[in-house]
Amino acid sequence: MHRLSELFKKEDKKIIGLMSGTSLDGIDVALVRILDKGQNTKIDLRKFISVPYQPELKSRLKIISQAKSGTVDEICRLNFVMAEFYVEAIRELCDTAQVPISEIDLIGSHGQTIHHLPDLEMVFGKNIRSTLQIGEPAIIAAKTGVITVGNFRSADMALGGQGAPLVPYFDFIFFSSDQYNRVLLNIGGIANITVLPKAVSSDQVKAFDTGPGNMVIDALMQLLFGQPYDKDGEMAQSGTVSKELLDELKRFPFFQKPAPKSTGREDFGDKFVRQILVLAQSLNLSATDIIATATELTVSTIAEAMKFSSLKITTVDQVIVSGGGSHNQFIMNALKKSFPSSDILLSADFGIPVDAKEAICFAVLANETICGCAANLPSVTGAKRPAILGSISCP
């Protein structure tokens, strides 16, 4: 406890952020030097690595993430197994950065989401929302000897929020501008936007998931071509978008929901992919046409999400893209066509590598927890009030 009280007072920290997203690619690990807190936060990325999942682990995580597919004993074991993999990734990062783990002040771990149910439902007479991220933070703290913050979503959901997205707090701190209307676009397994009108205040930020990012494309690539993803968007570029299929997919209920809203594999997992294949077969589409249409679905639902009147932004000066989808040239070219009057930029143009942004974010969120700063945005999640996020595990 003495060590924790010292950390509360420390303004200059070495913090490791961990992120493993819905795409199930692996574990992103960032070592960040963080100064101060809140809107005065300064960051210096010292090292970033991405550690891919073993194919068998990825397969099991995908299965247990589907409704009625995971057993309690398997989820229980994987909760502890994932923590062990996080510890290995942390050690690999420290070795690569040549920084002893004893010099790390804090770890922030998002955990691996295996189910997220953000909509209210009545269970045993109680109106609740729920979520589950595995990768037990207490194991990470015990094995590394470093204070660890995890379970970031729960505090927001306890106050009636959706528990996601959480990255908009980071976006507000580091990308707000007095000069430009900005939209931060992250294309991971799921795509999400943060809308930052010029001179925006924290209670004016709007952000939400727009729908699938890479998740559906990756699943189709694996089924149709035996490839993990569409490298550089080459397959999509060789196909033709089917308007009939695209229009049918855009009728999916999630796209009709008002913000705030969040989603994941529960909506856009295997069942959705099977629906695409059935519809594509009825339309006699080629495999490349299916990939092109699924990729266009990502872009068109992003574009339509930005037209919501509730966003209170008439022109978008800059769209700043991060996440794995930023490597897909079909997506990037389609974004330029969808927003001809906007500058399409990368987070890397602002010093934050596109693949490292979310891992850096959870280092920042862990710092906010330790500093006692609320780091959810109720205007984004729908929570009743701001909350200090995360639970703290001591070694």
> pTM for this structure?
0.93
pLDDT above 70 for 310: no
What is residue 308's predicted lDDT score, i.e. its pLDDT? 66
Q: What is the pLDDT of residues 20-68, one digit of tens each?
A: 988 888 999 999 999 999 999 999 999 999 999 999 999 999 899 888 8
What is residue 127's predicted lDDT score, i.e. its pLDDT? 94
What is residue 54's predicted lDDT score, i.e. its pLDDT? 94
Locate 87 and state its tokens: 């510890």
User: 260 falls in which pLDDT band (50, 70, 90)?
Assistant: confident
What is residue 142's predicted lDDT score, i.e. its pLDDT? 98
pLDDT above 90 for 124: yes
- Extents of the domains making up the chain: 2-163+356-393, 167-350
Mean pLDDT (whole number) for 159-170: 94
pLDDT above 90 for 266: no
Locate 317 and state its tokens: 């000066």
> What is the CATH topology of the domain spanning 2-163+356-393?
Nucleotidyltransferase; domain 5 (3.30.420)
What is residue 351's predicted lDDT score, i.e. its pLDDT? 95
What is residue 281's predicted lDDT score, i.e. its pLDDT? 97
- Name the more confident of 9 and 216: 216
What is residue 9's predicted lDDT score, i.e. its pLDDT? 80
What is residue 315's predicted lDDT score, i.e. its pLDDT? 87
Q: What is the pLDDT of residues 299-309, one digit of tens each?
A: 999 999 887 65
Q: What is the pLDDT of residues 337-364, one digit of tens each?
A: 999 999 999 999 999 999 999 999 999 9
What is residue 306's predicted lDDT score, i.e. its pLDDT? 83
What is residue 2's predicted lDDT score, i.e. its pLDDT? 54
The number of residues making up the chain comes to 395
What is residue 261's predicted lDDT score, i.e. its pLDDT? 87
Mean pLDDT (whole number) for 10-26: 92
Residues 132/114, Cβ–Cβ less than 8 Å: yes
Mean pLDDT rounded to a whole number for the chain:
94
User: 126 falls in which pLDDT band (50, 70, 90)?
Assistant: very high
H or E, element range at 63: helix 55-64
H or E, element range at 158: helix 154-158
Could you give the angle at which helices 72-97 and 55-64 cross, rounded to 10 degrees?
140
Q: What is the pLDDT of residues 186-230, one digit of tens each?
A: 999 999 999 999 999 999 999 999 999 999 999 999 999 999 999
Mean pLDDT (whole number) for 86-106: 98
What is residue 311's predicted lDDT score, i.e. its pLDDT? 65
What is residue 312's predicted lDDT score, i.e. its pLDDT? 66
Mean pLDDT (whole number) for 228-256: 96
User: 69 falls in which pLDDT band (50, 70, 90)?
Assistant: confident
Locate 343 and state its tokens: 């500058």
H or E, element range at 289: helix 287-305
pLDDT above 90 for 70: no
Contacts with 156 (C-beta within 8 Å, 6 or more apart), sequence order:
162, 163, 166, 376, 381, 383, 387, 389
Residues 208/260, Cβ–Cβ less than 8 Å: yes
One CATH from 1.10.10.10, 2.130.10.10, 3.40.50.1820, 3.30.420.40 for 167-350: 3.30.420.40
pLDDT above 70 for 1: no
Residues 367/15, Cβ–Cβ less than 8 Å: yes
Mean pLDDT (whole number) for 68-91: 95
Locate 23 and state its tokens: 């795409």
> Do the two domains 2-163+356-393 and 167-350 of this chain adopt the same fold?
yes
Mean pLDDT (whole number) for 361-382: 96
Extract the runs of DSSP E, i.e. beta strands, from the chain: 12-20, 26-35, 42-52, 106-123, 126-134, 148-150, 182-187, 190-196, 206-212, 318-322, 343-346, 391-393
